[in-house]
A and B are shown apart, each in its own frame.
Chain A
Amino acid sequence: MPRTYAEEMSYIRQLSPVSYEVAPGFVPGMRVPGTFYVNDSLKGLLFEELQAAVQRGDHGGFLPAVKQLANVAALPGIVKCSIALPDVHSGYGFAIGNVAAFDMDNPEAVVSPGGVGFDINCGVRLLRTNLTEADVAPHREQLAQSLFDHIPVGVGSQGIIPTTAKDMEAALELGMDWSLREGYAWAEDKEHCEEYGRMLSADPRYVSARAKKRGLPQMGTLGAGNHYAEVQVVDEVFDEVAARRMGIDQVGQVVVMIHSGSRGLGHQVATDALVAMERAMARDGIVTNDRQLACARIQSEEGQAYLKAMACAANYAWVNRSSMTFLARQAFAKVFSSTPDDLDMHVVYDVSHNIAKVEQHMVDGKPMRLLVHRKGSTRAFPPHHPLIPADYQLIGQPVLIGGTMGTSSYVLTGTDRGFAETFGSTCHGAGRARSRNNSRNKLDYTEVLDSLKAKGISIRVASPKLVMEEAPESYKDVSAVVDTCHAAGISNKAVKLRPIAVIKG
């Protein structure tokens, strides 16, 4: 007998103006509660989705994000709670915007590719410049074209950095160290990168030939979908000390944001792992509420193979963003007849959105080694955490929140409260409000492009017809998402950025 909406809601309890708890029992077998962070303007979407699912019954459609959150809470070895951030929306198995941590010392605990996502180590990198909006204004179109010429975009695009299969093997193992060795990155870039741009657990032998074949021509390409390179300007500074430390404290200062991931290689790694894990689940008798939540014990052969391959895909993504940094620096140098050094084009930070990492956290007053899955969520470590760079020890880890095409982006910093409550995690972007198909049906791409032009944003797209999938109307309001995280204290607002030129696939 299916529950009514009211019965479903009886499991959900508001904890604070911006947080809610989902009690065990909401779905079968929950080992820990679920928690989600939404403010009043965002909660509607989440609850409407649940209500629609109740009315629809069991027949088809994506599971609502709240149900997915609860299903994750039923996975073996999960600790404390399954957490959803304000930009949460339904995804494959895990909702996008879900954080879940599994006890490394529990032999039953699992790793799930769905908890990382298909675009492994999709992330955002921010470069600063010493240019102002006024310096760039006369060259805006030229700059957008130059970036478009330098950074290959779109489905089926190919990179302009010559790469052999041997280079690729090395890149998978070395991550940004490969970019450094070959001279595509600066030494300072590495220190301002999560994990210093290299997962040491990477082992290219665990990446299938098929994945490598997909990855090779795509090195140094932006990709399609929600990926973009944007020229932005500092619009508002909330935390002057933090902004000054990051070198982005002047309103009107020009910065470059690159949002990209591990392309076809990451997707293939995830696909390969899902197939292997279905077998492992049958063998080890792992039962989940949702078939999409394929997983394997962390210490099993399949679990370890996935983690090693995932680390390679993560390294690939860092190399990819480093290559695009190199190309963006060249594009700027050309347009402004200067050098990247003289333009002060340093990497402010580079964050990962889709990744699983082994970290130390305090759970109920005890230190624990956890495998933290962050899917559509950004690590946000507090001041003084040993894993953040020397430059940011006093302000906390910078968190880069990419907006959607034509809307604002934000730079936040990590907090102690976030470290205690959400395993040091916060939101990653706006989060979808409409599915891709829904957007395609309802929006007209010429309108979307015209509205960007009206806002004074130069745009270059490889495939205009896919633009409406990524239109701001398809997403939640990024400001509401960021404000929720700020209000919940899981990260602090530092700087708001506004786009002036967009390059998209």
Chain B
Amino acid sequence: MTWLGFQLRALRYPHGPVDVDADNPEAARKLVIWLENLKIREYKIEDRKPLADTASPTWGAAFGKYLSDLSCPVPSTDLKAAVEWLVAFAVNLEYEDNADKLPPPAAPAPAPAPAAPPAAKPAAPASSRGAQAFTDLADPATVAAVRELIRVAQVSEGAGIVDELQEAADLAVAAVGPALAAGGWTDGRAARAALAHVPLGFNVEGEALNRAAKALRLAYVQDLRRLQSQIDHALVEMQEYTANPKTDSSLGKVGR
């Protein structure tokens, strides 16, 4: 999912991800009026008409005025950047409105997660580039931001910035992961690492084949477990009819 798509999901935008295309601006224009109507509410309702008329040739001018009224630093000619800025702005407003109602990040959080990927946060405020914030890894600001992130994550230092960041990411996954919807996290690294410790029980040539064989074994064991649980369930149902355990302590006799 793109960063824009992620933000739109957080805003509960009903029309799915938007492809901002200057040659075919209809979708972007609809998004703009939706943002104004439901999230930003800069104008009074009657003043929103020029923006709402997405087919009008004067829409561009109305959009330019709208951006300047919002003190947007991005020119209206760069439609893509402007839309991204608007969306980020809307997320900010949404967060300000609801910050006290949102659960802390580790608790199961519903879709609005404006504060979500912490990695983007330190570099994000002035940038309209969202997830692509870390383009220059040598930039001292970037390094400082990463250092800050590692400090906040309480990762012990000394292993080198890459390993520390990896550890911070693992911690974040562990903390946030449970709150994400099923299938929301697709990074296979943790699974691959766990797979390395699984004994296969026989030998095959090659790392990839080995991993595949292990995955098959695990799938098989899972099937076996499911079958066993069904058997257990059947046994318990049978016990409903047959079981009647009794003890009679008068029968008991302790030996010598």
Write the residues of chain A forming the contact surface with B, with a CB cutoff of 8 angstroms.
Answer: 148-149, 152-162, 180-184, 187-188, 190-191, 221, 224, 241, 326-327, 330, 382-384, 389-391, 393-394, 416, 462-463, 505
Contact = CB atoms under 8 A, between A and B. Distances in A.
Nearest to B256: A463
Contacts of A160: 247-249, 251-252
Contacts of A154: 254-256
B198 A394 contact: yes
B243 A183 contact: yes
B255 A184 contact: no
B244 A183 contact: yes
Contacts of A463: 255-256
B102 to A, nearest CB: 34
18 contacts: A148-B254, A152-B254, A154-B256, A157-B254, A160-B248, A160-B251, A161-B245, A161-B246, A162-B246, A162-B248, A180-B243, A181-B238, A183-B244, A187-B232, A389-B228, A390-B228, A394-B199, A462-B255
B70 to A, nearest CB: 55
Contacts of A190: 235
A502 to B, nearest CB: 15
Interface of B: 197-202, 217, 221, 224-225, 227-228, 231-233, 235-236, 238-239, 242-249, 251-256
B225 A391 contact: yes
Nearest to A330: B247
Given A153-B254, A155-B255, A505-B255, A181 B199 contact: no
Contacts of B224: 390, 393
Given A161-B251, A224-B255, A390-B221, 12 more contacts: A155-B256, A157-B252, A161-B247, A180-B235, A182-B242, A183-B239, A183-B243, A187-B231, A191-B231, A191-B232, A389-B228, A462-B256
Given A390-B221, A390-B224, A393-B221, A383 B247 contact: no
A157 B236 CA distance: 32
A158 B251 contact: yes
Nearest to A241: B197
A201 to B, nearest CB: 21
A239 to B, nearest CB: 12
Nearest to B218: A394
Contacts of B238: 181
B50 to A, nearest CB: 64
Contacts of A148: 254
A417 to B, nearest CB: 12
A157 B255 CA distance: 4
Nearest to B198: A394
B217 A384 contact: yes
A188 B253 contact: no
Nearest to A160: B252
A183 B247 CA distance: 12
Contact of A182 (B228, B243, B255): B243
A191 B228 contact: yes
Given A154-B256, A160-B252, A382-B201, A182 B245 contact: yes
A158 B247 CA distance: 12
8 residue pairs, one from A and one from B, having the closest CB atoms: A154-B255, A183-B243, A384-B201, A157-B255, A187-B235, A158-B253, A187-B232, A160-B252
A260 to B, nearest CB: 13
Nearest to A157: B255
A156 B197 contact: no
B256 A383 contact: no
A187 to B, nearest CB: 4
- Among B225, B244, B248, B256, the one with the most A-chain Cβ atoms within 10 Å of its Cβ is B256
B239 A180 contact: yes
B230 to A, nearest CB: 11
Contacts of A390: 221, 224-225, 227-228
A189 B233 CA distance: 13
Contacts of B233: 187
A456 B46 CA distance: 85
A416 B198 CA distance: 14
A241 B248 CA distance: 42
Nearest to B248: A162
Contacts of B255: 152-157, 221, 224, 462-463, 505
B6 to A, nearest CB: 35
Nearest to A395: B199
A218 to B, nearest CB: 10
Contacts of A391: 225
Nearest to A224: B255
Contacts of B256: 154-156, 462-463
